[in-house]
Amino acid sequence: MSRDSAVNHSPAHADNTFLPGPVLLLGAPGVGKGTQAQLLMAAFGIPQISTGDILRENIAKGTELGKTAKGLMDRGQLVPDQVVNDMVQARLTGDDVHAGYILDGFPRTLAQATWLDAHLPIFRETPQLVAINIRVDEDELLRRITGRRTCSVCKHIYNIYSHPPAKPGICDIDGSPLQHRSDDTEEAFAERMKAYESLTSPVIEHYRASNRFRAVDGEAPVEQVAQSIVAALKELRQI
């Protein structure tokens, strides 16, 4: 389960009556994109395509793109858009994306979004990419992130404000100590929000200007947010 989640949820059974096509989940850090991606994957039997996973896989396999990315990362440099784009392009030629997929962490910048719009039709005959923006108030995001605690053994996720363990600092399931990530602090959150505003907000505006964008309330219960996302996808696919 993604670290965006404060509570673990059981997914719905796969639905073969609707094909969501390519989906981009947008939103600030902590809105629950990872949780909703997991639920969509289970509901529709489509893969989540994570740039982080793709990057790690290329590095592990020692591909040319992986070697380039690792060299940059070892020097403390950011992996440039073109390298990330090439990795995504290779992944989107896979056999498991016919019914659709969920993009995770891409496009993160306006340049990546523009590249994807231009190249997506080339990969295969698929519907247009649609974007769903999950909106959550910034104060609520801060509570979600700074209150997050994870079991050191079973990885069950709690939140000391909204979903606390029965005994502070101890997992309800196996009694193991809970961990507080070093980047789940107010200072780290402020830095992540700055990066989000400068890099990702333009991506949201890019898709908002098209007819391929909907926003949903991310402060509702998780299952209700999932229902809103599915309803938005079905509406978008009728356009």
Q: Can 148 be counted among the known catalytic residues?
A: yes
Q: What is the number of other CB atoms lying within 10 angstroms of the CB of residue 93?
A: 9
Binding residue per annotation — 101?
no
- Is 33 marked active-site? yes
Backbone angles phi, psi at 38, to 5 degrees: -60, -40
Of the residues 3, 70, 135, 192, only one is catalytic, namely 192
> Is 33 marked as binding a ligand?
yes
Q: Is 181 annotated as a binding residue?
A: yes
**13 half-sphere exposure, CB direction, 13 A CA radius:** 2
- Please indicate whether residue 75 is annotated as part of the active site: no
Task: Name the catalytic one among 108, 155, 214, 237.
Answer: 108
Kindly name the residue from 91, 148, 149, 212 that is annotated as catalytic.
148
User: What whole-number distance in Å separates Cα of residue 132 and Cα of residue 207?
Assistant: 9
CA-to-CA distance for 221 and 229, rounded, in angstroms? 12
Determine if residue 45 is labeled as part of a ligand binding site.
Answer: no
**Omega before 164 cis (within 30°)?**
no
CB 176 within 8 A of CB 170: yes
Is 239 part of any known ligand binding site?
Answer: no
Ligand-binding annotation for 34, yes or no, is yes
237 is in an annotated binding site: no
Burial class (CB in 10 A: 0-12, 13-18, 19+), 61: exposed
Contact predicate 199/109, CB 8 Å: yes
Among residues 61, 67, 167, 181, the one annotated as catalytic is 181
Question: Is 158 marked as binding a ligand?
Answer: yes
Q: For residue 36, say whether it is annotated as part of any ligand binding site.
A: no
- The answer to the question of whether 49 is labelled as a binding residue is no
96 labelled as ligand-binding?
no
Give the position of tokens 């991606």: 37
Centre a 10 Å sphere on the Cβ of residue 232 and count the other Cβ atoms it contains.
Answer: 19
Binding positions are 30-35, 51, 56, 77-79, 105-108, 112, 148, 151, 154, 157-158, 171, 174, 181, 192, 220
Give the active site residues: 33, 108, 148, 181, 192
Point out the annotated binding site for Zn(2+). 151, 154, 171, 174
Binding-site residue positions for ATP: 30-35, 148, 157-158, 220
